[in-house]
Amino acid sequence: MAYAANTDRMSGTTGIFGWATAMFRRDEATRTKMKLYRQTRRELGNLTDRELADLGMHRSNIEGISREAAGL
């Protein structure tokens, strides 16, 4: 009796190619999240304290809000 084991849960393929595919997908997802994080942080950082207060935010919350928005 023969059977095949799939050990790569990310891409559905086995071996080095499956591992490399999964790694590149993870890296791409991380780059996308970091881009959104930086953009959100930059845009919120450009607001005045008054504008942030109008949104119910404080300048010290910018990093946390940016991380949450990017899913980090």
Distances (CA, A) of 21 to 5, 18, 41, 49: 18, 5, 30, 44
Tell whether 27 is covered by a domain: yes
What is the SS3 assignment for 34-71?
Answer: HHHHHHHHHHHHCCCHHHHHHCCCCHHHHHHHHHHHHC
Stated pTM of the model: 0.66
What pLDDT is stored for residue 21 in this prediction? 85
User: What domain range is 30 assigned to?
Assistant: 15-70
**Four-residue CA torsion sign, 50, 51, 55, 58:** negative
Angle between helices 62-70 and 15-45 (to 10 degrees): 140
Reported confidence tier of residue 4, pLDDT bands at 50, 70, 90: low
The number of domains in the chain is: 1
What pLDDT is stored for residue 69 in this prediction? 92
Tell whether 19 is covered by a domain: yes
Tell whether 30 is covered by a domain: yes
pLDDT digits (tens, 9 = 90+) for 15-67: 888 888 888 888 888 899 999 999 999 999 999 999 999 999 999 999 999 99
